[in-house]
Amino acid sequence: MTSAPGWAVHLPAGTRLDPAGLAAHALPEAWARHWRSAPERPALGDATGGSLCWGELEAASARAAGRLHRAGLRSGERVLVSAASSLALAVAHLACLRLGLVIVPANPAYRAAELGLLLADARPRAAIVDDAERAVSLRAQGSELLVLTPTLELADGPVPALDRIGPEAPALLAYTSGTTGRPKGALLSHGNLHATAEALRIAWRWTPEDRLVHALPLFHMHGLGVALHGTLQAGASALLLPRFDPGDVLDALERSAATLFFGVPTMLHRLLDHPRAGALARLRLLVSGSAALSADLHERIAARTGQLVLERYGMTETGMLVSNPVAGPRRPGAVGFPLPGVELRLAASGEIEVRGPNVFGGYLDRPDANAEAFTADAWFRTGDLGELAADGCLRIVGRAKELVISGGYNVHPREVEEALLSHPAVREAAVVGTPSAEWGEVVTAYLVSERDVTLPELRAHCAERLAAYKHPRIVHRVAALPRNALGKLQRHRLCDGSVLPD
Polymer length in residues for the chain = 502
Q: What are phi and psi of 466, to 5 degrees?
A: -135, 150
Pairing outcome for strands 237-240 and 211-214: parallel
The per-residue pLDDT for range 257-311, each reduced to its tens digit, is 999 999 998 899 999 999 999 999 999 999 999 888 888 899 999 999 999 999 9
CA distances from 394 to 210, 333, 360 (A): 28, 9, 22
Q: Is the pLDDT of residue 1 over 60?
A: no
Distances (CA, A) of 235 to 32, 209, 283, 312: 10, 8, 18, 22
Beta strand spans in 176-278 (E): 185-189, 211-214, 237-240, 260-263
pLDDT in tens, 87-146: 999 999 999 999 999 999 999 988 888 888 899 999 999 999 998 888 888 888 866 899
Given a contact cutoff of 8 angstroms between Cβ atoms, the answer to whether 229 and 115 are in contact is: no
3-state secondary structure of 217: coil
Q: In this predicted structure, what is the pLDDT of residue 141?
A: 80
Confidence of residue 401 (pLDDT cuts 50, 70, 90): confident
Exposure string of 478-501, with b = 16+ CB inside 10 Å and e = fewer, is: beebbeeeeeebeeebbeeeebee
Which has the closest alpha carbon to 480: 417, 444, 430, 442? 430
Q: Which residues contact 181 (CB under 8 A, 6 or more apart)?
A: none
Q: How many C-beta atoms lie closer than 10 Å to residue 365's C-beta?
A: 15
Which pTM was predicted? 0.87
Rounded distance, CA 380 to CA 374, Å?
5
- Using 50, 70 and 90 to split pLDDT, how confident is the model at 4? very low
Q: How far is CA 33 from the centre of its chain?
A: 26
In angstroms, rounded to a whole number, what is the distance separating the alpha carbons of residues 250 and 271? 8
pLDDT of residue 502: 64
The residues, ordered by sequence, that sit 6+ positions from 482 with a Cβ below 8 Å of its Cβ are: 489, 490, 493, 494, 498, 499
- Domains of the chain (ranges, CATH numbers): 5-14+40-398 (3.40.50.12780), 404-495 (3.30.300.30)
CA 118 to centroid of chain Cα atoms: 17
Quickly list DSSP for 419-468. HHHTSTTEEEEEEEEEEETTTEEEEEEEEEESS---HHHHHHHHTTTS-G
Three-state secondary-structure class, residue 368:
helix
d(CA 78, CA 76): 7
Contacts of 406 (CB under 8 A, 6+ apart): 291, 433, 436, 439, 440, 441, 442, 443, 469, 473
Q: Are 359 and 314 in contact (CB under 8 A)?
A: no
Give per-residue pLDDT as tens, 57-71. 999 999 999 999 999
The crossing angle, in degrees rounded to 10, of helices 27-37 and 87-99 is: 120
Count of CB atoms situated within 10 Å of the CB of 243: 11
pLDDT at residue 3 above 50? no
Which tens digit of pLDDT belongs to each residue from 168-217? Answer: 999 999 998 543 446 799 999 999 999 999 999 999 999 999 999 999 99
Q: Residue 487: what pLDDT? A: 63
Q: Which tens digit of pLDDT belongs to each residue from 441-487?
A: 999 999 999 999 999 999 999 998 899 999 999 999 999 999 875 56
d(CA 87, CA 157): 21
d(CA 118, CA 138): 11
**418 pLDDT more than 90:** no
CA distances (Å), origin 206, targets 202, 234, 259, 261: 7, 6, 10, 12
* SS3 state of residue 158: coil
- Which letter, b or e, does each residue of 252-267 get, where b requires 16 or more Cβ atoms within 10 Å of its Cβ? bbeebebbbbbbbbbb
CA-wise closest residue to 238 among 85, 358, 106, 22: 85
C-alpha to C-alpha distances, 382 to 303, 373, 400, nearest whole angstrom: 33, 8, 9
